[in-house]
Amino acid sequence: MHIVIMGCGRVGSTLARELEHRGHDIAVIDSVPDAFRRLGPSFRGLTVTGLGFDRDVLRRAGIEDTDAFAAVSSGDNSNIISARVAREQFGVDNVVARIYDPGRAEVYERLGIPTVATVTWAADQVLRRLLPAGTEPVYRDPSGRIRMDQILAPQAWIGHPVGRLESAIEARISHLTRLGAGSIPQAETVIQEGDLLHMFMFDEHSDDVMSALQTGPEDD
């Protein structure tokens, strides 16, 4: 894949090196030539000095033949404008923008531009480490409606099949981790002690789900 990255700060340079290491063809745009030093001497991709929303700069970076575009500079406005130019004027389908302002991130998600809300993500990670286990989900979708939780198999459900658990709660088990190995369970998969359940649910139902997990199955 040919991938264009706008912004050669810590995130952009790390992203460029990692993608190149995976065998992709990379072009990096930044308005400050010295920023390219972060790429290191082993970087073999293209570097282009200029503004990431300038169409001529984007063309020099190969935007007309690119498979993906990432706007990860330190400026929300620059990232959004660049992402929109890449998508709307050059037809790049796979576009993502880094956004600091959570409010803006939500707006642009609704406009169809995938965003990484840095501040929201960082705050969520810190909260998950400060608060008791299970208080905060592992993941929330951009709308805030759906969450994913990692839950150690409750004692009350050990020995029961996954299908019975799912029919008793308003949640879905996407996968489970057993003895360090991940797997996708079937309805008949029996829950064992030590299993880590990865569950998707509506945030508004989370209290009921947690209660049902602790209560266990109803008597037949």
Indicate whether 220 belongs to any domain. Answer: no
Per the structure, how many domains does the chain have? Answer: 2
Q: Would you state the pLDDT for residue 180?
A: 86
Indicate whether 128 belongs to any domain. Answer: no
Indicate whether 184 belongs to any domain. Answer: yes
Containing structural domain, residue 86: 2-122
Same domain, 137 and 53: no
Same domain, 31 and 98: yes
In the chain, count of helices (H) and strands (E)? 7, 11
Q: Would you state the pLDDT for residue 122?
A: 66
| Distance between CA atoms of residues 185 and 175, nearest Å | 6
Indicate whether 127 belongs to any domain. Answer: no
Q: Would you state the pLDDT for residue 138?
A: 80
Same domain, 115 and 37: yes
* Of 66, 87, 122, the domain-final residue: 122
Same domain, 17 and 106: yes
| Distance between CA atoms of residues 214 and 156, nearest Å | 6
The low-confidence residues of the chain, meaning pLDDT below 70, are: 103-112, 117, 119-125, 127-136, 142, 219-220
* Of 102, 122, 142, the domain-final residue: 122
DSSP-derived letter for residue 163 is: H
Same domain, 83 and 23: yes
User: Given strand 115-117, what is the order of strands in its sheet?
Assistant: 46-49, 25-30, 2-6, 68-71, 95-99, 115-117
**CATH code where residue 189 lies:** 3.30.70.1450
Interval 51-67: pLDDT, tens: 999 999 999 999 999 99
Same domain, 66 and 6: yes
Same domain, 76 and 21: yes
Q: Would you state the pLDDT for residue 76?
A: 85
**CATH code where residue 49 lies:** 3.40.50.720
Same domain, 100 and 142: no
Query: What ranges in 85-204 are assigned the alpha helix state H?
Result: 102-110, 118-130, 162-168
Indicate whether 65 belongs to any domain. Answer: yes
Amino acid at 186: Q
Same domain, 137 and 108: no
* Of 122, 148, 174, the domain-final residue: 122
Interval 113-155: pLDDT, tens: 777 767 666 666 676 666 665 566 788 776 778 989 888 899 9
pTM: 0.63
